[in-house]
Amino acid sequence: MKTKRQEIIDILKLRSLSAKEISRNLGLSEKEVYAHLEHIRRSLRSEGLKLSVEPAVCLDCNYEFSKRDRLQPPGRCPRCKGTHIKDPEYFIK
């Protein structure tokens, strides 16, 4: 039987997903998913793999959060102050 982290890794090797989608697929809370993703990011380095992030984007002004290191989505846009933000998506390469 695989651990939740192993299941997340297997899913993210196949396609990119947001934390909400991972949460729904595996029956975890989003908060748990972010904790697992943080651990996965560190542990993949030893395997020569990388957890990549397709950055969040403000849907009001198209601002891309490309320099963000945190895995959680931003609360609001620094440019337009809007809160209508597309969640980041995660994948393994």
Q: Which one has a higher pLDDT value, 1 or 8?
A: 8
pLDDT tens for each residue of 3-62: 999 999 999 999 999 999 999 999 999 999 999 999 999 999 888 999 999 999 999 999
Whole-angstrom distance, CA of residue 79 vs CA of residue 29: 30
Specify the higher pLDDT residue, 40 or 1.
Answer: 40
Angle of the 19-26 helix axis to the 30-44 helix axis, nearest 10: 110
Name the region of 48 (left: φ>0; alpha: ψ -120 to 50; beta: rest). left
Domain architecture of the chain: domains with CATH: 4-92 (1.10.10)
Residue 33, exposed/middle/buried by CB under 10 A (0-12, 13-18, 19+)?
Answer: buried
pLDDT reported for residue 32:
96
Say what the pLDDT of residue 1 is: 85
CA 67 vs. chain centroid, Å, equals 14
